[in-house]
Amino acid sequence: MEIQLTKILLSEGRILNQETKSIQKIVDNVNNQRQWLHSQHIDDLLEFIDKLGQYWAKVFSKEIGINSKHLILYLSKKNLGKKLDIALRGDHIVLEKFLDFSDPELLFHAQPRGIVVHWIAGNVDILGIFSVIQALITKNVSIIKAPSKFDLLVKLIESIKEIDTEKILGKDLLKCIEIVYVDRNDLKNQELLSNNADIRIAWGGEEAVNSITTLPKSPFTEDIIYGPKYSYAIIDEKSLTENLEKIAQRIAIDVSMFDQYACSSPHTVFVDTNNEQTINDFTEKIAKSLDDVNRILIPKREITPEKSLEILDIRTEYGITGNVRSSKGTEWTVISSDEKNLAKPTFSRVIHIRKLDKESLQKENSSRKIQTIAIVMEQEKRFELIDNLTLLAGDRCPNVGNMSLFDSPWDGMFGMDRMVRWITTYKNEYN
């Protein structure tokens, strides 16, 4: 089995792209930055990230695409500070000092866990950036194990040095992050990464996640797993009657963003109706919207011949058992059928439209593999359905059009809470 040489891509604030036999040096580098990062005030870090988000959205607008607006909003000091407050029991200043959270005896202080190692999947590198930001604002240093296509990831992280605020220089903050490419078969360096991680964050599919979680680790290491998950949407007839075009456009955005390779991308849309014409009209509108999105907003990335063949095969299959609407090429595919179950993911902008069978779905929606369920219906009915479905599975129920926009919590957990250790002391020194 051929092993590609491991490369240190970015170290001590500089792009290296240097082959190496051991990555111990980068572990030492980030360890040396822990005290400096800990000494930075949290509001100064939030101010820096706010400015960084605006810079990324402007300079990398072409690469980030439709996510640019969300990036600015999410990384704003006001929003990120509030997300941090919620994750850390109500007040992010707990990262700075002991606070009183109304316990009769105890005071609380949040300390960073230490080194966060991020295994970032190539198909969701933009999403992976958010876990790096969360590590920074909880004062953890980071090592990023980059995917094979790492150019954008490295450019985004390196550009941190371009930002300076009154209190923090980008070149100093950048030293708190190292980026390395390690071949999956290079077990020596994979294990070195894992054994030195205080937190392991894994983004990706089942095979990638399993290869990470089976690596040896300290018994005190915290694992945060983002994937593999499945997502879908439910829309009722009344909503389609009132807002058919708008809903179709938003579903098309959800399908097209990340080409369905994000765990939050929908693969099935259930329509709660007994009217076949409603389903047909909706299918037509989604097809048109997918075509518009591909031409105007999010052009589809080039795919492999194998994926093209898979798409053609599924079109042929459902051309017999259902109805298929598709582009002339393999840019997008909309399939309607009488099947009741969650469709097997094809990815690459293949979406299934099916009539909702609540009893059947309730049985199938029992796996923790379900992540995002977008539901469009009258609010009271929507909340009732969310409560019923998420008892066993499903972590997020956003609006359509927002399914793949990163938020906190994600995958049912507050990642930033998992990145700190909670320290306690007594209010009364004689207790």
Query: The domain that contains 184 carries what CATH number?
Result: 3.40.605.10
Residues 318 and 351 placed together within one structural domain of the fold: yes
Beta strands in 41-134 (DSSP E): 106-112, 115-119
What is the chain's alpha carbon radius of gyration, rounded to the nearest angstrom?
Answer: 23
Residue 1: the pLDDT is 43
Residues 63 and 127 placed together within one structural domain of the fold: yes
| Cβ neighbour number for residue 100 with a 10 Å cutoff | 10
Residue 242: C-alpha distances to residues 119, 133, 238, 297, 322 (Å)? 43, 40, 6, 25, 26
User: Crossing angle, helix 24-31 and helix 187-195, to 10 degrees?
Assistant: 20
- Distance, in Å, from the CA atom of 387 to the CA atom of 374, rounded to the nearest integer, reads 13
Q: State the DSSP H helix or E strand holding residue 277, giving kind and residue range, or none if neither.
A: helix 276-292
Burial 278-317 (b: 16+ CB within 10 A, else e): bbeebbebbbbbbbebbeeebebeebeeebeebbeebbee
Residues 275 and 154 placed together within one structural domain of the fold: no
Evaluate whether residue 118 is within a structural domain: yes
**Alpha helix (H) residue ranges in 303-378:** 305-321, 358-364
Evaluate whether residue 402 is within a structural domain: no
Considering all CA atoms of the chain, what is the largest pairwise distance in Å, rounded to the nearest integer? 78
Residues 154 and 284 placed together within one structural domain of the fold: no
Residues 275 and 300 placed together within one structural domain of the fold: yes
Tens of pLDDT along the chain (431 residues)? 444 689 999 999 999 999 999 999 999 999 999 999 999 999 999 999 999 999 999 999 998 988 899 999 999 999 999 999 999 999 999 999 999 999 999 999 999 999 999 999 876 778 889 999 999 999 999 999 999 889 999 999 999 999 999 999 999 999 999 999 998 889 999 999 999 999 999 998 888 899 999 999 999 999 999 988 999 999 999 999 999 999 999 999 999 999 999 999 999 999 999 999 999 999 999 999 999 999 999 999 999 999 999 999 999 999 999 999 999 999 999 999 999 999 999 999 999 999 999 999 999 998 889 999 999 999 999 999 999 999 999 999 999 999 999 999 999 999 999 999 999 999 987 65
Evaluate whether residue 276 is within a structural domain: yes
User: At CA 95, angle to CA 93 and CA 99, rounded to 5?
Assistant: 60
370 within 8 A of 231, measured Cβ to Cβ = yes
Residue 430: the pLDDT is 65
Q: What is the pLDDT of residues 396-414, one digit of tens each?
A: 999 999 999 999 999 999 9
Q: How many domains does the chain have?
A: 2
Residues 91 and 137 placed together within one structural domain of the fold: yes
Residue-number span of the structural domain to which 111 is assigned = 6-227+411-426
Q: Are strands 141-145 and 177-181 parallel, antiparallel or unpaired?
A: parallel
Residue 4: the pLDDT is 63
Q: What is the pTM assigned to this prediction?
A: 0.93
Evaluate whether residue 315 is within a structural domain: yes
Q: Are strands 141-145 and 115-119 parallel, antiparallel or unpaired?
A: parallel
